[in-house]
Amino acid sequence: MTSLGTSPTTLNDAADVVALLVLLSEFAMLRSSLSRSQVRLYAFQSLCVSILAGFVAATRHIVELYGLMGMSFLLKVIVVPLIIVRLVKEIRVDVTASHRIGVATMVLLAIVLSVFGVFVVGHLPVHSRSLPILPLALAAAVILVSFLLVIVRNDVVSQAIGFFSLENGVSVASLVLAAGLPLIVELAFLFDLLVAVVVFGLLMRVHHGRTGTLSTQALDRLRG
Amino acid sequence: MAGIELAPAEIQALQDLTILVFAPLVSGAIAHLEGRLQARRGPRILQPYYDIAKLFRKETLVPDEASWFFLAGPVVAFACYLTVPLLIPVLTQYPLPLGYMGDILGGGFILSLAGFAVGLAALETGGAYAQLGSSRAMTFGALIEPSILFVTFTVALVTATDLPYFEAAAVRSSLGQAIDPAHLLAAVAFFLVVLNDTSRIPVETHASTLEFGMIDEARTLEHSGPAFALLKWGSAMKQLILYVILINVFAAPWGEAGSRQIGPVLLAIPAFIGKALGVGAIFAVIDSSFSKLRLFKITEFMAVAFLLAVLAVLVLFLGGR
């Protein structure tokens, strides 16, 4: 029985829509050319992941997930985006479009990847009690598209955002597969994220200090 | 209450008449609202009727090089726009006899035939801008086609038919179907397709006079007189037809007549026009709050529509589990 009094299919549909928003914001990150809007999209994506966690907590009565929801909201929607925005402001580089290939081509490539991800996961014999299979398949697509984001964009901010959103994809997958995971494990994931933020922050500053830009294209110019 | 029952053929004729008569009204209302949103007074709501009436009284000029198709094209297109309302749910919830004649793809083919006729008539002229518009319209028409196909696939997967009436019935059947992720995605994708096909921002500035940014609008530059009136009227009808599909199939298929009684059928007309004006208001707001995309960026817009439509099919692929 569900706690909200509506039919389970409608609830599952709502969860599916939220999971879809996670994937769509990943696509939007892939094509947006401003670092700041990428960060905003990341915050939105994290918000969707938090909502999904709260949804599973409410419908499956898993109290720990409320804690996870609160923590991930605090960290991923507020703290991490603020840190990155501050870093970008300090560096004062107008990050222009850093696409290696055309946007339409990129989106088509990402579509192919997500179709692949969804089909592969769709064929796995997974039956989850917490969520339908669709969020898991979409999480696989999110992970693949975030890899693409890291590969085809050549500025450090995009690569950091790509890595963070990869973590969002993994979070969604863990909500489907291991909703009852002890809270301490989930918190360890979030701690990993914080470490990554520190590392990427350092990377951005060092890179900018050495090359005067955030673009990674300057890296192939070797100096002896 | 036992009212007069209308014959299906009469209702079908009424559907056509609704589109024919009210299309300029919806266009005019949108233009008026757009003017208001941009702090202008805007043209009168009935202005398109006056325009069309005036054009019918003007003489027709034909370029020297043009053949007979220059004048036949607008008529063919107009006939196509009169045919499509027979296939789609304008006023009724239940399929009318001719509704089985063609599915969504059939309707799409007829709309494409109309576009082809207008494009060919524009090519006839030898005018540089008309030809440019014709060529662009064909190119972008081909690029938006995959999205339309995938929306059709979604409808086919949801209803096991590809008749628009059944998709509307599926949406009406339960709230769950209305917020089904696949349906939402397909509806948004179709919304983007309509944005493109009614030549709205971000694809094209609707009321612009700047030839270089034109796509659909440029095709009619060489026409004049009654032929131009037919083209203008036809483009208003095409817009209303696309609104019908957006509203009565995907977004809000409520308010149509459920019986053949004369009362509900006649009531369905103001209900539909009201909904169309609501959608038109959304389009006017979009028109005033975004800027036009650069011509070579339009493919990005189409990639988004395609993405949403493909995701809809993907969701349906896993939805049954």
Would you call B176 and A20 a contact, using CB atoms and an 8 Å cutoff?
no
Three-state secondary-structure class, residue A57: helix
Average pLDDT over residues B25-40: 92
Q: Is A133 on the interface with B (CB under 8 A)?
A: yes
Distance from CA of A83 to the nearest CA of B (A): 30
**In a domain? residue B82:** yes
ipTM: 0.84
Number of domains in chain B: 1
Domain residue ranges in chain A: 8-220
Q: Is A27 on the interface with B (CB under 8 A)?
A: yes
Q: Which of A120-124, B239-243, B303-307 has the lowest mean pLDDT?
A: A120-124
Q: Is the pLDDT of residue B304 over 80?
A: yes
**In a domain? residue B43:** yes
| pLDDT at residue B229 in the model | 95
DSSP annotation string for B96-155:
PGGGGG--HHHHHHHHHHHHHHHHHHHHHT--HHHHHHHHHHHHHHHHHHHHHHHHHHHH
Q: Is the pLDDT of residue A47 over 80?
A: yes
Owning domain of residue B302: 8-319
Q: Is A104 on the interface with B (CB under 8 A)?
A: yes
Q: Is the pLDDT of residue B171 over 90?
A: no
Residue A115 near residue B310 (C-beta atoms within 8 A): yes
Would you call A14 and B175 a contact, using CB atoms and an 8 Å cutoff?
no
**In a domain? residue B148:** yes
| pLDDT at residue B25 in the model | 95
Chain B residues closer than 8 Å to A104 by CB: 299-300, 302-303
Instruction: Name the band, by pLDDT with cuts 50, 70 and 90, for residue B320.
Output: low
Report pTM: 0.89
How many beta-carbon pairs under 8 angstroms link A with B?
66
Q: How far apart are CA B101 and CA B227, in angstroms?
A: 29
Q: Is B143 on the interface with A (CB under 8 A)?
A: no
Chain B residues closer than 8 Å to A31 by CB: 300
Residue B61: both structure tokens together: 């000029």
Nearest residue on chain A to B175, judged by CA atoms? A10
| pLDDT at residue B71 in the model | 92
Q: Indicate the residue of A23, A107, A118 with minimum beta-carbon distance to B303.
A: A107
Nearest residue on chain A to B146, judged by CA atoms? A108
Q: What is the pLDDT of residues B187-197, one digit of tens each?
A: 999 999 999 98
Three-state secondary-structure class, residue B200: coil
Residue B244 near residue B89 (C-beta atoms within 8 A): yes
Query: Which of B311, B313, B316 is best to mutate for the A interface (most A CBs within 10 A)?
Result: B311
Q: Is the pLDDT of residue A205 over 70?
A: yes
| pLDDT at residue A4 in the model | 42
Q: What is the pLDDT of residues B80-106, one digit of tens each?
A: 999 999 888 888 888 888 878 878 888
Q: Indicate the residue of B179, B307, B315 with minimum beta-carbon distance to A107.
A: B307
Q: Indicate the residue of A13, A24, A110 with minimum beta-carbon distance to B179.
A: A13
Q: What is the pLDDT of residues A129-159, one digit of tens each?
A: 777 888 899 999 999 999 999 999 888 888 8
Chain A residues closer than 8 Å to B184 by CB: 17
* Residue A10 neighbours by CB distance under 10 Å: 18
Q: Is B250 on the interface with A (CB under 8 A)?
A: no
**In a domain? residue B2:** no
Q: In the predicted model, what is the mean pLDDT of chain B?
A: 88
Would you call B311 and A114 a contact, using CB atoms and an 8 Å cutoff?
yes
Three-state secondary-structure class, residue A19: helix
